[in-house]
Amino acid sequence: MTQLQCDIPQRAERIRVRGLVQGVGFRPFVHRLAHGLGLSGEVWNDAEGVLIHVAGEAAAVEELVGAIAAEAPALARVTAIERSAWLPPPALAAGFRIAASAGGRRTAGVVPDARLCAACAAEIADPAERRYRYAFSSCTACGPRFSIIAAIPYDRPNT
């Protein structure tokens, strides 16, 4: 029986993202990137920001980190990306998921409230839209953050 050799370099990393990265659509953003790059792993909020465990082709991991730095959601402010090897390399199921948040000593910042964006303003002004005249419309690019958060991590039970 012939054994196949894999010549594509593989990498498993633990990536810590610090800054204003909670409550801005950061986890779904990372999920979309990782899924599109064929990476496996998970992303979650914790008291320090966002933590990512990722495994896959080395070039894809590099592309993920580059995109996190260059293409973060509009309200996000990435202040640091810390990378380390994730050893021993995990036996992960294929795919990438958003995991439940973890607690800890709070060091993550909270994004300030943001004014209504043009897309939400258009939605509430259009009688054909479901949110027509809805006073509390918001999305990952606008709306309350600081005024509604009770604790970090920024998850539904804490807002």
Q: pLDDT digits over 85-98, tens only?
A: 987 666 666 789 98
pLDDT computed for residue 85 by the predictor: 92
pLDDT tier, 137 (very low <50, low <70, confident <90, very high otherwise): confident
pLDDT at 145 over 80: no
Can you give the length of the chain in residues? 159
- pTM, rounded to two decimals: 0.71
Give the residue numbers marked as catalytic: 27, 45
Name the least confident of 16-25, 84-93, 118-127. 84-93
Burial state string for 118-152 with b = 16 or more CB within 10 A and e = fewer than 16 = eebeebeeeeeeeeeeeeebbebbbbebeeebeeb
Our CA dihedral for 27, 30, 34, 36, rounded to 10 degrees, sits at 110
Which domains are seen in the chain, by residue range? 10-89 (3.30.70.100), 112-149 (no CATH)
Cis peptide before 89 (omega within 30 of 0): no
